[in-house]
Structure 1
Amino acid sequence: MSCLLTPPTRRVRSAVAAVLFSGAASAFALNTATITSSVLSVDCLEYRVVGICYWLHCTWTSCSVRTSVKVRHYIPDAVVSSYSNTGENPWTDVRAMSPPNDSAQAGGDGTTNHDNENNLAKFKNADVIGHPGGYVLSQFASRTGYACEGAGTAFMPYLLSTLDTLAWRNNIPEKYYPEARTPGMREIGSRAGANLWGNVYPRGGFLHQSDDYMSAAVVAQRAGDIVTRSNQAHVYQSLLADAKDGYWPAGALKESDASTGKWQELTPTLANTCAVFPHSDTREQAEQGDYAWALWRPYACCERKGQIFLGSVDFP
């Protein structure tokens, strides 16, 4: 794959425009084809040339230093679904991965049984499954320049909350963590900013929040927080790649920090842009309480031009 940068072709731009216009549609059945086409977002990709890499290239007779361009862009590693009814992931093609079981059934919200009062508690299941659009994204990004590889594998289940019952439905052991017991610690938004959506800890399916969209977003953030770290007290697989010469993978996701990851809404509205939580964009409430986002994470890389990596220099 060439490291020479070229502007996007008219054909690519047309494809992007077609997808983005279709993204204005409201609630719909979310399937693999829709998710795959959603990767054609210039805003989410955020492709940049950020520096130069240096390589030592040797033959039988001599050695020389060669260079390659260092690029940085986001990759949709996973689809994170946050939904009320167990077994009803809004991504219909993967529902069979997380059916109800003896320890994880039903769903829904707590209530006072009074119509004039808000629900006491919200509950959301969460599934983190490898994004299926990797190949399309790679082809799309390579039209701009050299493209990096993400950590996600298509359709790989990284977290299924129905298999994480003790932590997801009982908050054990995280309800005893300092992050869960200290007001203002690891929160999405803030009281001072009047935009507090919820707390990251304990990272389970329950929270107190009257807004269903915000509840789902907080739970999605919790799921993303878990899978982008190692050795967490949950049943899951880490969504992490190993660094190597000329390759700098994404690290741990941090709430409200776009430099660690950002979210593209897939349902109930298909968005053509990415954002972090909290945000001020229009939030459509899902009729069945089911939501899904693509989790985009930043990667940097450069094309290998020699046997030994000498280092890299980033532009100011």
Structure 2
Amino acid sequence: MYTTPSRIRTTVCSLAVATLLGTATAPAAVAALNTAQIIASAVSQNCISWRVSGICYWLFCTPFGCKVRTSVKVTHFIPQAVVSTYVAPGGNPWQEMAFVSQTAGGLESAVTRGLSGVSAGGANPADMKNPGQRKSAVRFKYADAIGHPATSLIGGSIPGYSCDTAATPLMPYFLSTLDSAAWRTGVPESLYPEALVPGQREIGSQAAANMWGNIYPRSGFISQTDDDKASAVVAQRVADIITRAGQPHVYQVLRGNRHDGYWPPGEVTENTGTRNHKWQRLAPHMTQS
């Protein structure tokens, strides 16, 4: 990123994704979090992880000759999306955004009724039972990805020493109620090699006995007895979708455009630690990093 002809400062950034793991069991469920709390949660050095990561050398040429100039390279995370997962239509635990999924629910009902002849609904009766009474490990989750309300506050806040954000605050990047056909059927991704070949695109590892779930097919259904793990896998699926172009889903791409001095992260990929993204849990128990 160029600032003035005499001095160049460059920044590089990564994606931070906040997640709401909702446990709503009814459309009118009490919200767990509001926008002010989400903004406050992002203003933390543990979350942003700002640091000076290097020095860049630039060859600056004019008709009178060339000079080598240096600039500081900084790296940090920006909160760009809030991913919510929940079990009932309109059950987004983010108070101000719950109406978004409720509004889109009418379209989902029409699509679902056309596909199966039944009304839309989610979850699994097993979710409403005590763990010892559950009969099935298969769960269904609704999911939303909304632009983080603090993304503009942090992104680009210090010109030359902070990254611009690729996200728009409060912008819906993914609503599972609008992606009902693919989200409920898993078509065509159920036929992809990633979904058919064991060991491909998995969170955790079967060999290491810490398997959480498969990324593919990227639908709302998941086989997992632990509800928190099921929600986390579905949230990862949503991040996987929105950071890639040309996917067979209804969504908006959330990805920055590279240019001189600005290197945004690539696609979100599981099992990579914090190489280009990290999660901050907002609910049911908020973390500070």
Q: TM-score, normalised by structure 1?
A: 0.72
Alpha-carbon RMSD: 2.7
In 2, the alpha carbon distance for the partners of 1:55 and 1:3 equals 8
Q: 1:225 aligns with which of 217, 232, 240?
A: 240
The answer to whether the aligner puts 1:154 opposite 2:172 as a matched pair is: no
What pairs with 1:45-194 in structure 2 (closer than 5 Å)? 45-57=48-60, 64-99=67-102, 100-101=105-106, 102=109, 103=111, 105-109=120-124, 111=126, 116-138=133-155, 142=158, 146-194=161-209
What SS does the corresponding residue of 1:179 show, helix, strand or coil?
helix
Q: Are the equivalent residues in 2 in contact too, given 1:168–1:203 (CA < 8 A)?
A: yes
CA distance in 2, matches of 1:220, 1:157: 15
Contact 2:31/2:93 (CA < 8 Å) preserved in 1? no
The one-letter amino acid paired with 1:256 is N
Which structure is higher in RCO with an 8 Å CA cutoff and minimum separation 6? 1
Q: Tell me the alpha carbon deviations over residues 267-296 of structure 1, each in whole angstroms, 9 at most, x when there is no partner.
A: 1111101xxxxxxxxxxxxxxxxxxxxxxx
Q: 1:135 to 1:117 in 2, by over 3 A?
A: closer
Q: Deviations over 1:144-198 (max 9, x none)?
A: x810112111011111110111110010100111111112111111122221111
The one-letter amino acid paired with 1:30 is L
- Preserved contact between residue 152 and residue 169 of structure 2 (Cα < 8 Å): no
* Structure 2: 5+ residue stretches without partners: 10-29, 113-119
Distance 1:183 1:203 in 2: 15
**Contact 2:31-2:94 within 8 A present in 1 as well:** no
- 1:225 and 1:108 mapped to 2: Cα distance? 22
Structure 1 portions without partners, runs of 5+: 5-26, 274-316
Deviation at 1:53, TM superposition (A): 2.3
How far does residue 64 in structure 1 lie from its aligned partner after superposition? 3.6
For residues 17-76 of structure 1, the C-alpha deviation after alignment (integer angstroms, 9 at most, x for no partner) is: xxxxxxxxxx97311111111112222212222222234556786654322101111111
Q: Secondary structure at the match of 1:151?
A: coil
The residue matched to 1:271 in structure 2 has which SS?
A: coil
CA shift in 2, pair 1:64/1:80, >3 Å: same
- Distance change in 2, residues 1:3/1:56 (3 Å): closer
Tell me the secondary structure at the aligned position of residue 220 of structure 1.
Answer: helix
Q: Structure 1 residue aligned with 2:254, among 239, 256, 260?
A: 239
Please state whether the residue corresponding to 2:177 is helix, strand or coil: helix
> Which one-letter code corresponds to 1:268 in the other structure?
P
TM-score, structure 2 length as denominator?
0.78
CA distance in 2, matches of 1:57, 1:269: 50
One-letter amino acid of the counterpart of residue 281, structure 2: E
SS of aligned partner of 2:123 = coil
